[in-house]
């Protein structure tokens, strides 16, 4: 079994819905929490764009994974979309841990160390040394939309395999406990 049209439609809806939420929520949060300074430095010991970017790069995937996994499991348990065996997932989703909080933390750490640092390297190479409130708001809104679009399919695909494993045919051997529901 592979991803059906319904699976793809759900992933697309989650990605686009997440993009809209991230655009407005993170844009608003950036505007509302901007410190009382004229510009925010890219690099500094205190409040800075780099610290916010790295924190966002970790926490956005973690929070996305928690919410998305719970929503996806509920939809699939409702019976409108079938579970998918883990072996049939794309490799990147298949190797993620069973524990969805660990899954989100692992991807969050990977995003902070890759996407976050690469973004900061690009901003530094472009000569950005500080941003105004409007620039930070726009940057944060766009960054979170793109990061969300990157991680949402990973988490949705993996959540499709969080259901009960298929019961093997009569007379075949299976590992003890393989027919149980995963947490």
pLDDT single digits (tens) 74-111: 999 998 899 999 888 888 888 999 999 999 999 999 99
97-122 as b/e, with b when 16 or more CB fall inside 10 Å? eeebeebbbbbbeebbeebbeebbee
Instruction: Tell me if 180 is assigned to some domain.
Output: no
pLDDT at 166: 53
Q: Looking at residue 178, what is its pLDDT?
A: 46
Does residue 172 form part of some domain?
Answer: no
Q: What is the pLDDT of residue 108?
A: 98
The closest alpha carbon to 43, from 35, 52, 56, belongs to 52
Q: How many helices (H) and strands (E) does the chain have?
A: 6, 2
Mean pLDDT computed over every residue of the chain: 90
Backbone angles phi, psi at 39, to 5 degrees: -135, 155
Q: Which residue range is the domain that position 19 belongs to? A: 5-159
Q: Structural domain tally of the chain? A: 1
| pLDDT at residue 165 in the model | 58
Q: Which residues of the chain have pLDDT under 70?
A: 1, 165-183
Q: In this predicted structure, what is the pLDDT of residue 170?
A: 62
Q: Is there a contact between 149 and 20 (Cβ–Cβ < 8 Å)?
A: no
pTM, full prediction: 0.86
Q: How far apart are CA 78 and CA 10, in angstroms?
A: 13
Whether 176 is in a domain gets the answer no
- From CA 121, how far away is CA 177, in angstroms rounded? 47
Give residue 128's pLDDT: 97
Does residue 15 lie in a domain region?
yes
Q: What's the sign of the alpha-carbon dihedral 6, 12, 15, 19?
A: negative
């Amino acid at each position: 079994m592979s991803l059906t049209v319904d699976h793809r439609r759900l992933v697309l809806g989650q990605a686009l819905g997440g993009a809209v939420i991230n655009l407005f929520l993170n844009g608003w949060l950036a505007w509302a929490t901007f410190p009382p300074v004229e510009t925010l430095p890219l690099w500094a010991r205190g409040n800075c764009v780099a610290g916010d970017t790295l924190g966002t790069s970790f926490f956005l995937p973690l929070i996305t994974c928690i919410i998305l996994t719970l929503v996806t499991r509920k939809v699939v348990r409702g019976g409108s979309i079938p579970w998918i065996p883990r072996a049939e997932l794309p490799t990147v989703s298949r190797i993620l841990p069973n524990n969805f909080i660990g899954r989100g933390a692992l991807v969050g750490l990977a995003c902070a160390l890759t996407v976050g640092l690469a973004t900061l390297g690009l901003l530094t190479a472009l000569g950005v040394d500080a941003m105004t409130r409007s620039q930070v708001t726009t940057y944060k809104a766009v960054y979170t939309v793109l990061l969300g679009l990157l991680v949402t399919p990973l988490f949705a695909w993996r959540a499709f395999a969080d259901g009960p494993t298929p019961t093997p045919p009569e007379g075949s051997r299976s590992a003890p406990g393989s027919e149980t529901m995963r947490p």
